[in-house]
A and B are shown apart, each in its own frame.
Chain A
């Protein structure tokens, strides 16, 4: 009923404006029912626009991802029952295997979980990935909280030992300098590796202020995009700083 009202209103408006508008002119000339259909199509277009907006919003809320994250966090708190550097096969088996044997092409878990595609995904350390986040220093260096970026520059996975991915990266750290407190960025080339079994990316800057500091990033948030990183002294593993880094959108 209200559509009819709108239509009559439109017709009335178009008549009031004379025969100037194309839309109004056509409406006036054609079958009123076609006019109504046009209005309906117009209303549908509006609805689709609203739906498109909703889709954008819905992308931010992925229930499956959320549940997976929660699961990972709970597992992290509970512990896996495996010692450090060991991989929990998962499922009902609760079997621990050495991280030297995870994703090496041989099935070592009874449930073969150590060669699963999602475990052995190299997505976290694809060359070109840039991880960004704010670093909080608690010791070692006197620095304010500033942005740190880790850009993966190249990777190499040797065919005969696939349990690790060798990674070259550029670590960029912002810091405040001078009387005007402007931001400067230091860049340190670093090398290291990614460990599938522990989901850890470990990087050692080659020189500069960070030469004795190692960066350990654990992808422990249930996805390949967020990593909890710790910067620590290479020799003693004494923690210097921590950061939560996330993959920068391309």
Chain B
């Protein structure tokens, strides 16, 4: 029994330390850099278009998950709407990075929406890699790779639920 408790404490400790990669300052950094990259108007559509093309180029099978929203053609009206919805969700999460309780609520809301779809972990990895390339291209300069990778981890874990 004691061993179990020790293991549980250890597991919590590991979880906390691995999540603590995204510290307060990094969160603020990600927030401000996201605001620049997320942009507005047509630039936002192009930004999300580039992200989704990069995702489907890595994991073409993932298109099957998005059949309902026109995933066969990323330029279709349905898919553009969907991709903007996804970025809007990401925008909410990133905007809440400095408010832990509200962040947790939003993440569990998103987790509920994703749970039934059984999304493989490597699709999340593809999303992360796509962001990792399109973000610096969009920002040009002044982007912190480490902060993004640490904080994306927090978001992805929250949505995946593990």
In the complex, the answer to whether A202 meets B53 with C-beta atoms within 8 Å is no
Give which listed residue, A97, A104, A214, contacts B141 with CB less than 8 A: A214
For A161-197 the 0/1 string (1 means CB < 8 A from B) is: 1011000000000000000000000000000010100
The chain A residue with its CB closest to the CB of B137 is A164
In the complex, the answer to whether A160 meets B140 with C-beta atoms within 8 Å is no
Q: For residue B137, which residues in chain A have a CB less than 8 angstroms away from its CB?
A: 100, 161, 163-164, 193, 195
Whether, in the assembled complex, A235 has its beta carbon less than 8 Å from a beta carbon of chain B, the answer is yes
* Minimum distance in angstroms from A87 CB to a CB of chain B: 11
In the complex, the answer to whether A100 meets B134 with C-beta atoms within 8 Å is yes
In the complex, the answer to whether B133 meets A161 with C-beta atoms within 8 Å is yes
* Minimum distance in angstroms from A200 CB to a CB of chain B: 9
| Residue total for B at the interface (Cβ-Cβ under 8 A) | 21
In the complex, the answer to whether A104 meets B46 with C-beta atoms within 8 Å is no
How many A-B pairs have beta carbons closer than 8 Å: the answer is 54
In the complex, the answer to whether A235 meets B142 with C-beta atoms within 8 Å is yes
Query: Taking A100-B47, A100-B134, A101-B49 as contacts, is the C-beta distance between A160 and B54 under 8 angstroms?
Result: yes
When chains A and B are docked, how far (Å) is the Cα of A163 from the Cα of B133? Answer: 10
* Minimum distance in angstroms from B50 CB to a CB of chain A: 4
Give which listed residue, B46, B136, B141, contacts A101 with CB less than 8 A: B46
Query: Taking A106-B53, A159-B57 as contacts, is the C-beta distance between A100 and B138 under 8 angstroms?
Result: yes
Whether, in the assembled complex, A46 has its beta carbon less than 8 Å from a beta carbon of chain B, the answer is no
Whether, in the assembled complex, A234 has its beta carbon less than 8 Å from a beta carbon of chain B, the answer is yes
In the complex, the answer to whether B141 meets A160 with C-beta atoms within 8 Å is no
Query: Taking A100-B46, A100-B47, A101-B49 as contacts, is the C-beta distance between A160 and B142 under 8 angstroms?
Result: no
Query: Taking A159-B57, A161-B134, A202-B141 as contacts, is the C-beta distance between A104 and B50 under 8 angstroms?
Result: yes
Whether, in the assembled complex, B58 has its beta carbon less than 8 Å from a beta carbon of chain A, the answer is yes
In the complex, the answer to whether B50 meets A163 with C-beta atoms within 8 Å is yes
When chains A and B are docked, how far (Å) is the Cα of A97 from the Cα of B130? Answer: 20
Whether, in the assembled complex, B154 has its beta carbon less than 8 Å from a beta carbon of chain A, the answer is no
Give which listed residue, A98, A160, A163, A193, contacts B129 with CB less than 8 A: A160
Query: Taking A100-B46, A101-B46, A161-B50 as contacts, is the C-beta distance between A202 and B140 under 8 angstroms?
Result: yes
Q: For residue B49, which residues in chain A have a CB less than 8 angstroms away from its CB?
A: 98, 100-101
Query: Taking A234-B141, A235-B142 as contacts, is the C-beta distance between A104 and B53 under 8 angstroms?
Result: yes
When chains A and B are docked, how far (Å) is the Cα of A234 from the Cα of B57? Answer: 32
In the complex, the answer to whether B54 meets A234 with C-beta atoms within 8 Å is no
Query: Taking A100-B50, A104-B53 as contacts, is the C-beta distance between A160 and B133 under 8 angstroms?
Result: yes
Whether, in the assembled complex, B144 has its beta carbon less than 8 Å from a beta carbon of chain A, the answer is no
In the complex, the answer to whether B46 meets A204 with C-beta atoms within 8 Å is no
Within A97-122, which residues are at the interface with B (CB < 8 Å)?
97-98, 100-101, 104-106
The chain A residue with its CB closest to the CB of B55 is A160
Whether, in the assembled complex, B43 has its beta carbon less than 8 Å from a beta carbon of chain A, the answer is yes
Q: For residue A159, which residues in chain B have a CB less than 8 angstroms away from its CB?
A: 57
* Minimum distance in angstroms from A215 CB to a CB of chain B: 11
* Minimum distance in angstroms from A85 CB to a CB of chain B: 8
Within A125-184, which residues are at the interface with B (CB < 8 Å)?
158-161, 163-164
When chains A and B are docked, how far (Å) is the Cα of A104 from the Cα of B47? Answer: 13
For B150-162 the 0/1 string (1 means CB < 8 A from A) is: 0000000000000
* Minimum distance in angstroms from B126 CB to a CB of chain A: 8
In the complex, the answer to whether A161 meets B130 with C-beta atoms within 8 Å is yes
Q: A98-B49, A100-B49, A105-B53 are in contact. List 18 more A-B contacts (CB 8 A).
A: A98-B50, A100-B46, A100-B138, A101-B50, A160-B53, A160-B54, A160-B133, A161-B54, A161-B133, A161-B137, A163-B50, A163-B137, A193-B136, A195-B137, A202-B140, A202-B141, A214-B141, A234-B141
Can you sample 15 A-B contacts with CB below 8 Å? Answer: A97-B46, A98-B46, A100-B47, A101-B46, A101-B50, A106-B53, A160-B53, A160-B129, A160-B130, A161-B54, A161-B133, A161-B137, A195-B137, A204-B141, A214-B141
